[in-house]
């Protein structure tokens, strides 16, 4: 709650026009360029990410996978504007950001902490709209609408702690949708729910991506999940972490938990990524 | 059935305490003017509510405690939230807050008696001075202790300024503020009675002190019991308010965190 | 942390208290008010009574009473707390009486104990220990009650003696709860110490404050008040240091547990 962060939110997001000649014809929705993050200074400095490049095109579903502790969450905090990289830049629709941009909504792993326990589901979802100065009636109507979209039409007046883990994460997704974001950034969003719920939520996010034509960046350590969801999988490894491979996932849509995961290509892609991660661990430092 | 059994043992323990008390008083080891017979104390407890003097004393003690608590809260909550929200202010005031929170405020009484005389006003100032610190400390703590995830949420959804203060910061600090208020409630009663005992300011403490001087030990014990009942009642009342205000909070919902 | 950084940190914390004291010193200099003597004079009389006057003896009297009272309270509170915490039926039976007696404002008993037993050291020790025992007792009960039942099973299956079970298992496990109870008791103990000395004594810091106030020696009254305040602060800081070491394992293991989730 320090003032610095408050300032960050209230001052207009600074922006730089993207005019470099090497920008692809279709401007990427989200782009990390040569990102480096170092924590601390002097002897205790630790570089977590180095020379990292990730591109997410409009409407694309990209998963970032890597072993635990590799720096996935750090990258995600950079991508969403919560953390300023030590070097390199993050671009949203071509402009460099150094504060959380309006186009991005973040869904955090820890739903029990990211939802405010003193507010009902409805109020939680409506809060970002309140921050934008939307009138009460309008923001609540919108919140009800998105809650219905994620299948929680009846739970609007419940408190987060009266809902199951999966339902809480649906509320968090609804909050992101109500924000009218073009890019959904998700940090291991399904790591704390049971397997059954996890499959339901995965399919929900795929469906929402199609319906709303948004881009999704999802960080996970679960390779099956990454292959199942993505158009493209970005594999992080080593320390400091960098992208060791980018895998195009050509699996047909719509995807199906049983059918897709039974495909030969699925197993192949999964094996390839797993192999790369294991290989990177064995490799001498 | 378990409940009735517990109740029975509780009654048994009560009878045991009374019996021991009776025996000790009859044996005279402690002297009658320290330990009266239980029967005399209960007789006084039954008589007291019919005496105007008793209600006057209760009222004066409660009034100074309640008023002092309200003034302390009105000052300490906003000041604490401001201190906690601002790193530089927090650092600059840290020593002072630490110093005064552990300062036995009762030691200021002789100075205040010189300034204001042995009056209700002096008692009120003493109570306020003592009750401020727990509320202040807890408000600062509550304002500083925000879940990092919640900070991330407000930052990434562009929630700032007034909305962040009223919809996020205050509810977030509320459980801590309530803890501070609860500590200060007990403290304000303690200070009221302490000042009444020491400076002969009217109230329950004063009744205890003069009864003691008169050697009326049954009266002393009766008033001590009354002061305990008062403390217990306030504590229960406070717990009820807390349950209502913090219905959303895990500690109130009985969830293990 | 570099030295410059450290200095900046100290400066950030010290500038306000230091300037407030300086302000008090300057504003009160040359004050002729009966109630607000110059700070310089307060310091001077305080120093005088400390070096040649009775203050050292008084402080020793106060502190030994506090230490003795607190020691008794810790012993009784922890022993009774472990017993009550371990045996649920006993705990349930005495619970309403405990809840009541801890609600009695501790200072209400001071006139009773001192009035009856006189103004020497012993009644003060009784007053202090009687006031301090309740937070320690209740916290110990809570701590023991909250111990994982697996600990008892462990002791049984490895056939640990009762002594080992209580000293090496129950007590350390309940310590994170007992220590805050002692901290609360310390704060209450200092209050009761001062109250009991103001109520009736012929020695002690509270007595010094009261006597000087009665004689309208206001600078001494202020000096005594400040000394008691600084003492309260010092004791609580000392306790923090003790707590820091006593509960090191607890703090680190819970930080570890948090970082894992």
* Residues A104-154 pLDDT 10s: 999 988 888 888 888 999 999 999 888 888 889 998 999 999 999 888 888
Residue C105, helix vs strand vs coil? coil
Residue A23 scores a pLDDT above 50: no
How distant is the Cα of C151 from the closest Cα of chain B, in angstroms?
19
Identify the weakest region by mean pLDDT among A242-256, B11-25, B168-182, B228-242: A242-256
The length of chain A in residues reads 285
Stretch B151-161: mean pLDDT: 86
Residue A16 scores a pLDDT above 70: no
Contacting residues of B for C35, CB less than 8 Å apart:
111, 114-115
Backbone angles phi, psi at A184, to 5 degrees: -105, 125
- What tokens appear for C143 in the block? 């701590």
Q: How many C-beta atoms surround the C-beta of residue B9 within 10 A?
A: 15
> CB of B16 within 8 Å of any CB in chain C?
no
B71 CB-near residues (< 8 Å, 6+ apart): B124, B128
Q: Which of A56, A75, A53, A57 is nearest to A66 (CA)?
A: A75
| In contact, B28 and B36? CB cutoff 8 Å | no
Could A118 and B155 be called an inter-chain contact, meaning their C-beta atoms sit closer than 8 Å? no
Task: Name chain C's partners: 3 or more CB pairs within 8 A.
Answer: B
B150 burial level (CB within 10 Å; 0-12, 13-18, 19+): buried
Strand partners, A187: A219
β-bridge pairing A46-56 and A30-39? antiparallel
Contacting residues of B for A119, CB less than 8 Å apart:
167, 171
Residue B160 pLDDT:
81
Identify the weakest region by mean pLDDT among A4-18, A197-211, B49-63, C201-215: A4-18
Choose among A100, A175, A179: nearest Cβ to B155: A100
Work out the pLDDT band at C3, boundaries 50, 70, 90. Answer: confident
Q: Name the residue in chain B with its Cα closest to that of A126.
A: B157
B167 CB-near residues (< 8 Å, 6+ apart): A116, A119, A127, A130, B159
Residue C260 scores a pLDDT above 50: no
> What tens digit of pLDDT does each residue of A204-223 get?
999 889 888 899 999 998 89
Helix or strand holding residue C54 (H, E): none
Number of inter-chain CB pairs under 8 A, B vs C: 164
Cα distances (angstroms) measured from residue B79 to each of A260, B160, C21, C210: 59, 20, 21, 33
Mean pLDDT across chain B: 89
Q: Which of C204, C212, C222, C194 is nearest to C55 (CA)?
A: C204
pLDDT above 70: percentage of residues in chain A? 90
Could B224 and C109 be called an inter-chain contact, meaning their C-beta atoms sit closer than 8 Å? yes
Residue A73, helix vs strand vs coil? helix
Stretch A186-208: mean pLDDT: 88
- What tokens appear for C233 in the block? 């602060």
Q: Name the residue in chain C with its Cα closest to that of B32.
A: C116
Residue A169 scores a pLDDT above 70: yes
The Cα–Cα gap between C23 and C17 comes to 10
Residue C153 scores a pLDDT above 80: no
- What tokens appear for B133 in the block? 């610190």
Counting other chains too, the contacts that B148-151 makes at CB distance below 8 Å and 24 or more residues apart are B149/A108, B149/A110, B149/A113, B149/A114, B150/A113, B150/A114, B150/A116, B151/A1, B151/A5
Which 8-state DSSP code applies to residue A279? H
- Find where tokens 């020379």 sit: A51
Q: How many C-beta atoms surround the C-beta of residue B254 within 10 A?
A: 6
Q: Which of C21, C92, C111 to mutate to test the interface with B (most CBs of B within 10 A)?
A: C111
The Cα–Cα gap between A57 and A205 comes to 17
Q: How many C-beta atoms surround the C-beta of residue A33 within 10 A?
A: 17
Strand partners, A186: A107, A218
The Cα–Cα gap between C200 and C115 comes to 8
Contacting residues of C for B111, CB less than 8 Å apart:
35, 213, 218, 221-222, 225
Q: Name the residue in chain A with its Cα closest to that of B168.
A: A116
> CB of A122 within 8 Å of any CB in chain B?
no
Residue A42 scores a pLDDT above 90: no
C204 CB-near residues (< 8 Å, 6+ apart): C58, C61, C62, C65, C124, C193, C197
């Amino acid at each position: 709650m320090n003032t610095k962060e408050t300032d960050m939110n209230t001052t207009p997001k600074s922006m730089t026009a993207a005019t470099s000649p090497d920008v692809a014809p279709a401007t990427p929705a989200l782009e990390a360029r040569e990102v480096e993050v170092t924590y601390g200074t002097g002897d205790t400095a630790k570089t977590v990410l180095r020379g990292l490049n990730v591109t997410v095109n409009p409407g694309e579903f990209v998963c970032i996978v890597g072993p635990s502790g590799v720096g996935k969450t750090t990258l995600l905090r950079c991508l969403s504007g919560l953390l300023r990289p030590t070097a390199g830049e993050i671009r949203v629709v071509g402009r460099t950001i150094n504060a959380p941009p309006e186009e991005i909504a973040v869904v955090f792993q820890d739903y029990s902490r990211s939802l405010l326990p003193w507010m009902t589901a409805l109020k939680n979802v409506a809060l970002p709209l309140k921050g934008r100065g939307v009138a009460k009636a309008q923001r609540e109507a919108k919140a009800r609408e998105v809650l219905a979209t994620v299948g929680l039409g009846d739970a609007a007046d419940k408190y987060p702690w009266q809902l199951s883990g999966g339902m809480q994460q649906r509320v968090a997704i609804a909050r992101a949708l109500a924000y009218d974001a073009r890019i959904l950034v998700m940090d291991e969003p399904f790591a704390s729910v049971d397997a059954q719920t996890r499959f339901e939520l995965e399919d929900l996010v795929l469906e929402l991506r199609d319906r709303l034509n948004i881009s999704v960046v999802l960080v996970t350590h679960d390779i099956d999940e990454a292959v199942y969801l993505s158009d493209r999988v970005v594999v992080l490894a080593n320390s400091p972490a960098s992208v060791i491979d980018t895998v195009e996932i050509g699996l047909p849509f719509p995807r199906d938990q049983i059918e897709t995961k039974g495909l030969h290509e699925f197993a192949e892609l999964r094996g390839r990524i797993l192999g790369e991660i294991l290989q990177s661990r064995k490799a001498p430092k | 059935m378990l409940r009735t059994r517990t109740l029975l043992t509780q009654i048994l323990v009560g009878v045991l305490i009374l019996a021991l008390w009776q025996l000790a008083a009859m044996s005279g080891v402690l002297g009658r003017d320290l330990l009266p017979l239980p029967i005399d104390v209960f007789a006084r407890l039954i008589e007291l509510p019919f005496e105007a003097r008793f209600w006057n004393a209760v009222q004066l003690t409660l009034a100074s405690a309640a008023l002092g608590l309200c003034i302390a809260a009105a000052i300490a909550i906003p000041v604490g939230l401001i201190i906690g929200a601002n790193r530089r202010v927090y650092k600059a005031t840290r020593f002072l807050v630490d110093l005064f929170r552990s300062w036995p405020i009762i030691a200021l009484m002789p100075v205040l008696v010189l300034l204001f005389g042995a009056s209700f006003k002096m008692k009120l100032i003493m109570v306020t001075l003592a009750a401020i610190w727990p509320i202040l400390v807890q408000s600062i703590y509550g304002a500083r202790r925000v879940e990092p995830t919640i900070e991330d949420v407000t930052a990434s959804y562009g929630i700032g300024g007034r909305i962040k203060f009223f919809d996020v910061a205050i509810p977030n600090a509320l459980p801590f503020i309530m803890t501070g208020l609860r500590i200060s409630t007990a403290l304000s009663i303690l200070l009221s009675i302490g000042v009444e005992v020491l400076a002969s300011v009217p109230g329950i403490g004063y009744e205890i002190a003069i009864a003691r001087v008169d050697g009326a030990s049954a009266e002393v014990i009766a008033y001590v019991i009354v002061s305990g009942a008062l403390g217990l009642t306030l504590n229960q009342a406070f717990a009820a308010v807390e349950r209502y205000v913090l219905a959303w909070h895990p500690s109130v919902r009985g969830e293990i965190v | 942390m570099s030295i410059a950084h450290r200095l900046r940190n100290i400066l950030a914390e010290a500038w306000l208290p230091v300037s407030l004291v300086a302000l008090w010193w300057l504003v009160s200099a040359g004050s002729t008010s009966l109630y607000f003597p110059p700070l310089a004079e307060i310091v001077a009389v305080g120093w005088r009574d400390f070096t040649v006057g009775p203050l050292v003896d008084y402080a020793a009297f106060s502190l030994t009473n506090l230490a003795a009272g607190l020691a008794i309270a810790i012993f009784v509170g922890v022993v009774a707390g472990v017993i009550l915490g371990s045996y649920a039926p006993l705990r349930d039976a005495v619970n309403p009486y405990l809840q009541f007696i801890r609600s009695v404002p501790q200072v209400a008993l001071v006139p009773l104990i001192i009035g009856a037993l006189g103004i020497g050291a012993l009644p003060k020790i009784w007053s202090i220990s009687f006031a301090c025992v309740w937070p320690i007792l209740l916290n110990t009960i809570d701590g023991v009650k909250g111990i994982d039942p697996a600990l008892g099973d462990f002791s049984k299956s490895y056939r640990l003696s009762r002594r080992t079970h209580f000293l090496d298992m129950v007590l350390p496990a309940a310590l994170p709860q007992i220590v805050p109870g002692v901290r609360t008791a310390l704060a209450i103990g200092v209050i009761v110490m001062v109250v009991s000395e103001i109520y009736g004594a012929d020695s002690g810091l509270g007595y010094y404050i009261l006597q000087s106030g009665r004689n309208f020696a206001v600078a001494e009254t202020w000096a005594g008040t400040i000394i008691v305040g600084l003492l309260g602060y010092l004791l609580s800081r000392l306790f923090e240091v003790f707590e820091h070491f006593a509960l090191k394992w607890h703090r680190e293991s819970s930080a570890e547990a948090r970082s894992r989730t």
